[in-house]
Amino acid sequence: MQNSNRRKFIQSSLIVAAAPFASAMAMHTGDTKSDGTQDFTCLFQGDSITDGNRGRNNDWNHVMGHGYAYLISSRLWYDHPKSKFHFFNRGVSGNKVTDLQARWQQDALDIKPNLLSILIGINDVSVYLDGNTAFSAAQYETGYTELLQQAKDQIPGVQFVLCEPFILPVGKIKDRWSEFSAEIAKRQEIVKNLSVKFNALYVTLQDEFNKACSKAPADFWIFDGVHPMPAGHELIARQWIDVVSKKIRVYR
């Protein structure tokens, strides 16, 4: 995408969210500044794709990790330096839905985000295909639903952004492609349905990665079929900003 077009995406991004989510922000934070602006907190949750080798301390060189969450937050912070954006990355490598449930209070509910973005699912599929049938698609749906319902109940007005789990035929994923593609498809459908049920923004990613493979081989985008290369994280970041921006424009 040309720089001018990308700039248009960014200029129409979360800064516009202050108006539609103003009442929610007031309930969450009660923190209206003297200049009339209000804080807006965005939380990224998920597994290693979100984690991005993030730091676990206050070192701002690493606090957002080195993946799509970093790309999104850095662009929005740069383009809107007078905003009151607060971005948090709480992705944890290896996590499944059950792991999110175990740390949901501290790593999500206590943060009280205005916008909660989630990308989870590939580890659930991997463990299931390795023989642990407790991590079925039905269990994934039940656990994911509970996470969203808890957030909805405890954070009035929270806006969900649900990201579609994805894979490409590289490495072990390619070796077991029929199995992985069948199971990931089930979870993609679940996330899509949950986005409708909870009035969430739905960030499609599988089709975007599939289309990207017409420009470069699959391992240019995702080096092992699961974890994105730098270009893959850029793809996620652009798609995320595009989806969120288009929804927010409705309120302009």
User: In the numeric block, which tokens belong to residue 106?
Assistant: 């501290």
Confidence tier at 210 by pLDDT (50, 70, 90): very high
Dihedrals φ, ψ of 54, to 5°? -65, 155
List Cα–Cα distances, 79 to 12, 13, 55, 236, 250, in angstroms.
10, 10, 24, 19, 21
Q: How many helices (H) and strands (E) does the chain have?
A: 12, 5
Top pLDDT among 1 and 216 is at: 216
Using pLDDT thresholds of 50, 70 and 90, give the confidence band for residue 14: very low
Cα separation, 120 vs 227, in Å, equals: 12
What does the alpha-carbon distance between residue 199 and residue 201 come to, in Å, rounded to a whole number?
7
pTM for this entry: 0.85
Note the pLDDT of residue 168: 98
- Whole-angstrom distance, CA of residue 120 vs CA of residue 212: 21
Q: What is the pLDDT of residue 248?
A: 52
Whether residue 135 contacts residue 124, with contact meaning beta carbons closer than 8 Å, is answered with yes
User: pLDDT, tens digit, for every residue of 42-93?
Assistant: 999 999 999 999 999 888 889 999 999 999 999 999 988 888 899 999 999 9
Identify the CATH assignment for 37-249 out of 3.30.70.360, 3.30.470.20, 3.40.50.1110, 1.10.357.10.
3.40.50.1110
Chain segment 112-159, per-residue pLDDT in tens: 999 999 999 999 999 999 999 999 999 999 999 999 999 999 999 999
- Structure-token pair, residue 154: 């405890």
Please name which of 204, 186, 90, 203 lies closest in space to residue 147, comparing C-alpha atoms: 90
